[in-house]
Amino acid sequence: MILSIPLPQAARFAGLAFLGSLVLAASAQVAVPSWPVPMTMQSLAVLLLGALGGSRLGVAAVSLYLLEGAMGLPVFAHGTGGPAVLAGPTAGFLWGFLPAAALAGLARGHWARRGMVLLAAHLLLFVPGVLWLAGFTGLERAFWVGFVPFIPGTLVKTALALAACAALQRKAR
């Protein structure tokens, strides 16, 4: 519980979570327009937040990001914000960042294990994303527009997250 953490440590955690939410907001603006789900760098940011900061910090940063967006700040893709985005066609992907960050926080150990966990975390965010999108487009169309086009990017961004973790681990030694 955050109240049992000494104030400087709690302030550091809050500051890192806020910084993580800013990284996530910036990654949302690196977007390739596509309908109904834009291709962004958000999933890479989510993986890195979890893998580098741990599950707790990753989930805190994503939660803060979602709160910022719900309050209307232009943090979502294409500078959008507001509660309507969190109920629209892409909402499931946004909410899927939470379990993805939590799982990415478990990416430890040998590079192969770490890579498997990061890939699983990346794929996990598609589950609520595609299921929610199906309410707008039907399940088959949601699969074809909300998952299939993202497979190459998922593989590349997962590999980038793995490489970044490995590089930072080497640097920390």
Chain segment 141-158, per-residue pLDDT in tens: 999 999 999 999 999 999
Domains in the chain, number: 1
Provide the strand spans (E) within the chain: 31-32, 39-40
Q: Determine the average pLDDT of the residues in 108-113.
A: 91
Structure confidence by residue, pLDDT tens digits, 27-84: 999 988 778 888 999 999 999 999 999 999 999 999 999 999 999 999 999 999 999 9
The phi, psi pair for 26, rounded to 5°, reads -65, -40
Task: Report the chain's mean pLDDT, rounded to a whole number.
Answer: 94
Domain that holds residue 50: 2-172
Q: Which pTM value belongs to this model?
A: 0.92
Higher-confidence position of 70 and 4: 70
68: closest CA among 18, 31, 102? 18
CA dihedral 41, 145, 37, 96 (to 10 degrees): -70
Contact partners, residue 8, CB within 8 Å, separation at least 6 = none
Strands 39-40 and 31-32: antiparallel
What does the pLDDT read at residue 10? Answer: 86
Work out the pLDDT band at 171, boundaries 50, 70, 90. Answer: confident
What does the pLDDT read at residue 35? Answer: 81
The Cα–Cα gap between 69 and 22 comes to: 11
Residue showing tokens 């914000």: 81
Maximum Cα interatomic distance, the chain, rounded to a whole number of Å: 50
In this model, does residue 112 exceed pLDDT 70?
Answer: yes
Q: Determine the average pLDDT of the residues in 14-25.
A: 97
Q: The CATH number of the domain where 168 resides is what?
A: 1.10.1760.20
Number of neighbouring beta carbons within 10 Å of residue 52? 18
What does the pLDDT read at residue 1? Answer: 47
What does the pLDDT read at residue 4? Answer: 64
The Cα–Cα gap between 90 and 82 comes to: 13
What does the pLDDT read at residue 32? Answer: 86
The Cα–Cα gap between 118 and 71 comes to: 30
Instruction: Report in angstroms the alpha-carbon separations of 46 from 28, 80, 138, 166.
Output: 11, 18, 27, 17
Work out the pLDDT band at 7, boundaries 50, 70, 90. Answer: confident
Q: Determine the average pLDDT of the residues in 18-29.
A: 98
